[in-house]
Amino acid sequence: MNSRIATIARYTLLEALRTRLPALVLIALLATLGASLFIAAISVTEGARLQSGFYAAAARLASVFIAGIFVLVSITREFDDKGLDVLLALDLPRSHFILGKLAGYIAIAALIAIALSLPLAWLAGPQAVLQWTISLVLELIVVVTLALFCIITFNHLTPAATFVLAFYLLSRALTAIRLMGTHPLTGADTLSHEVIRYLVEALALVMPSLDAWTRTAWLVNDPAPWPDILQLAGQSTLYAALLTAATLFDFHRKSL
């Protein structure tokens, strides 16, 4: 890795460690674990399965929220404090800044995923927990890359956060939407249904179906086949590469 990229990544990681991010992750872990213990306590049967399933689902959402918001706030602070202008006034290519920031954010996302997956070591089997953690890291890579692209493109926190949230929710629900479009209860032969169905299928070609990532079923039922994890890794790498290329293109054409 280029020394400049590595330096930016290291300072990005130090920024996360010196802010309230570790405390926020700890609060999310304790709150989610406490809620899962409550769920297990009030359950009539299969308390351990309910606890691990609830914790996994809540921890996944918490990690996505924390990682995405940190990227958005971090770059927004760079814009507001004019630190980015000073940095780019030096002999530093813009691509090095983006790649360094992204490397730091990916490292932060991996640490968040590992931290929030630690309680699962006592709730599920080691293979399932390992697969769940790897998949969560891959999912967060897509999320932080998307967040970086959005904040560079929109330059403002609110529209960027809105787009990231909408993209994530649509990606999680895309498979269900496709199934409902393929087998509707009524109106299957109408023109509007056909237009919507083709629109959904077009979205499915360019958007990841994030419901396939980090499945709770791996923890409460059977672990996933390892080829499925490798397929998720390939898809995550592809989407991250495309989003990074789009971010670099958009950042190069901006006049700061």
DSSP 20: T
What DSSP assignment string belongs to 58-113? Answer: HHHHHHHHHHHHHHHHHHHHHHHTTHHHHHHHSS--HHHHHHHHHHHHHHHHHHHH
DSSP 149: H
Distance of CA 84 to the CA centre of its chain: 24
Q: Residue 85: pLDDT above 70?
A: no
Reduced to 3 states (helix: H, G, I; strand: E, B; else coil), residue 209 is coil
Question: Alpha-carbon distance 243 to 236, whole Å?
Answer: 11
CA distance readout (Å), 73 to 76, 77, 124, 160, 230? 5, 6, 34, 10, 32
pLDDT tens column, 156-190: 889 999 999 999 998 888 877 777 766 665 656 67
pLDDT of res. 183 = 62
Strands (E), 98-207: none
Banded model confidence at residue 255, pLDDT cuts 50, 70, 90: low
Q: What is the pTM of this model?
A: 0.89
Give 252: exposed, middle or buried? Use CB within 10 Å, 0-12, 13-18, 19+.
exposed
Banded model confidence at residue 20, pLDDT cuts 50, 70, 90: confident
pLDDT tens column, 217-230: 888 888 888 899 99
pLDDT tens column, 114-153: 999 999 988 888 899 999 999 999 999 999 999 999 999 8
